[in-house]
Amino acid sequence: MTFPAHLMEGYGRYLNKGFVRYKETHERLAVYGQKPDVMVVSCCDSRVTPEGIFNVGPGELFVVRNVANLVPPYEDTEGQHGTSAAIEFAVKGLQVRHIVVMGHGQCGGVKAFRENANAPMATGQFIGRWIKLLEPAAIAMACMPIDKADDPQLAMEYAGIRQSLKNLMTFPFIEAAVREGGLQLHGSWFDIGSGELRVMDAETQRFTTIEGEAVTAAE
């Protein structure tokens, strides 16, 4: 069994360019450990890379990726809770000050949920059960629609982000940190084709595009 050649070639380029660029940062991180201010819950879609989208270096983001960027509600049960474990480590261990739930356009997990049994992976042993976490979002969207219904895929992607933010608040340590002002929760959405980033307003729960002026001001 041969290790993928293009990955070895890519590592060579990284070692000679990328690693050299951040050599001192890597050395500092190795000695003193990581201390990111931001955690990102992102989709595992290969087209979405939080570190690239936000143009950050090593040690700046704590990222957990899963199908459809979902956060399950808090559960005090036996079992393996990978996403919840990452959240616990980020908040209680690293003491991040921000958690960003970042969805994206053309999300396959959301599409599988919407198409139900018609999607190839919707009934998968693991994926089928995982994307059922979107059911409360679909119910909320049907009962009290916030977005226009002309693009149901996009509306469901937004609704999933909102639901994950709600689920985050079911974790006692997150609710306490938010209440005490040490932690802020954010929703965002990324368009793969155009590179557009939309951020959710905490008051209205609507998503608006980050305009050029705001981006320039942040630089």
Q: Which amino acid is at 125?
A: Q
Is the pTM higher than 0.85? The answer reads yes
pLDDT tens digit string along 44-83? 999 999 999 999 999 999 999 999 999 999 999 888 899 9
Q: Which residues pair with 62 in a beta bridge?
A: 39
Other C-beta atoms within 10 Å of 71: how many?
A: 28
Under 8 Å between Cβ of 72 and 168? no
- pLDDT-derived band at 147, boundaries 50, 70, 90: confident
Under 8 Å between Cβ of 63 and 50? yes
Considering the four listed CATH numbers 3.40.1050.10, 3.40.50.150, 3.40.190.10, 3.30.300.30, the one that applies to the domain covering 34-218 is: 3.40.1050.10
pLDDT tens digit string along 101-138? 999 999 999 999 998 855 555 566 788 889 999 999 99
pLDDT at 219: 47
Question: Which residue ranges does the chain devote to CATH 3.40.1050.10?
Answer: 34-218
